[in-house]
């Protein structure tokens, strides 16, 4: 299975404080569902303590819809960064196998997660050559190869900046391109 990951953060560097992580699985035969991995991380958590919080990013979050802001502080899915990384690692090892791990900008989401795993002295649960970038597909779309699919899927995603919803929307986009005909 492929995995699509999305994270929400409080900065844009690889040391960014991670606020939520969402991941879903899919392959050429199986469309993603909204069932997957999801957690929110308390900003004051000791694991986030040494991670970056950028004032511009905080201001950006304050300008977002209340629904997006509420998703960041979702108590139902709240955990520590350490537990979030551990549980994500288990999810990835269980589901990834030989396929790819995707993100909308592999160097952003996957780079921040890589840094967090390394900060905890843990192995990253995927190989560097499994990383794929959805942003590259979106750039190719500009050449009319995928018939405006990204706009279609983005419009269907009602809850922007919820890591699980974003991962699902992004996975549906990739799935629509790679699915078996």
Per-residue pLDDT of the chain (181 residues; tens, 9 = 90+): 999 999 999 999 999 999 999 999 999 888 888 889 999 998 887 777 789 999 999 999 999 988 888 888 888 899 999 999 999 999 999 999 889 999 998 899 999 999 999 999 999 999 999 999 988 887 776 665 555 565 666 566 555 788 998 999 899 888 888 886 5
What pLDDT is recorded for position 140?
76
Distance between CA atoms of residues 19 and 129, nearest Å:
26
**Would you call 92 helix, strand, or coil by DSSP?**
helix
Burial of 177 (0-12, 13-18, 19+ CB in 10 A): middle
Backbone φ and ψ of 103, nearest 5°? -155, 160
pTM flag (> 0.85): yes
Q: Please name the residues in contact with 87: beta carbons below 8 A apart, sequence gap of 6 or more.
A: 37, 39, 79
Domains and CATH numbers, the chain: 2-178 (3.30.420.10)
What pLDDT is recorded for position 177?
82
**Would you call 53 helix, strand, or coil by DSSP?**
coil
Distance between CA atoms of residues 166 and 77, nearest Å:
16
Distance between CA atoms of residues 15 and 111, nearest Å:
9
- The bridge status of strand 101-103 relative to strand 37-41 is unpaired
What pLDDT is recorded for position 120?
93
Answer whether 25's CB lies under 8 Å from 174's CB: no
Answer whether 130's CB lies under 8 Å from 96's CB: yes
Token match 């879903």: residue?
A: 24
Token match 């592999």: residue?
A: 106
Distance between CA atoms of residues 128 and 100, nearest Å:
10
């Amino acid at each position: 299975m492929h995995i699509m990951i999305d994270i929400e953060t409080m900065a844009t560097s690889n040391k960014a404080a991670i606020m939520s992580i969402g991941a879903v699985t899919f392959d050429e035969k199986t469309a993603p569902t909204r069932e997957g991995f999801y957690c929110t991380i308390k900003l004051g958590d000791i694991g986030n303590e040494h991670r970056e919080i950028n004032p511009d990013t905080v201001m950006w979050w304050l300008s977002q819809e209340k629904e997006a802001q509420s998703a960041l502080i979702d108590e139902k899915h709240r955990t520590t960064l350490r537990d979030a990384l551990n549980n994500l690692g288990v999810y990835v090892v269980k589901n990834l196998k030989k396929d790819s791990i995707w993100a909308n900008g592999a160097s952003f989401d996957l780079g921040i997660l890589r840094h967090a795993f390394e900060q905890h002295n843990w192995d990253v649960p995927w190989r560097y050559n499994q990383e794929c970038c959805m942003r590259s597909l979106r750039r190719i779309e500009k050449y009319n190869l995928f018939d405006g699919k990204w706009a279609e899927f983005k419009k269907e995603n009602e809850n922007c900046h919820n890591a699980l919803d974003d991962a699902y929307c992004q996975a549906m986009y990739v799935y629509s391109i790679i699915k078996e005909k």
